[in-house]
Amino acid sequence: MKINKIAAAALALSFAFAASAVAQAAMVNGEVKKIDESAGKITLKHGPIKSLDMDEDGMTMVFRVQDPAMLKQVKVGDKVQFEAERATAGITITKMQKGK
């Protein structure tokens, strides 16, 4: 019985690591080019966005942000990591953090 508990714990840990790796893979690297707080939009130069089937590198796009408070956390020139999804209003950034 003790071996089953150890095996279950090891399996749970491996799932946690896999989920973390998938979450990191979904993050896209970018650079802030312009911020339009009044419109709730940000312009980013970014790499491929695999989750949206965008394989091009070095694209610059204007995105809506899900939460306008995100725009107050960054400034032009900052490196960021973000997640985006398709929404009725267009491609929207759902998560953004300063890059490393």
User: Which of 16-20, 39-43, 73-77 has the weakest average pLDDT?
Assistant: 16-20
95 to 1, 6, 12, 13, 98: CA distances (angstroms): 42, 35, 26, 25, 11
Which domain does 93 fall in, by range?
A: 2-98
Look at residue 98 and tell me whether its pLDDT is greater than 90.
yes
pLDDT recorded at residue 86? 93
Instruction: Read off the CATH number of the domain in which 63 is found.
Output: 2.40.50.320
Residue-wise pLDDT tens digits, 66-89: 999 999 999 999 999 999 999 998
Q: How many domains does the chain have?
A: 1
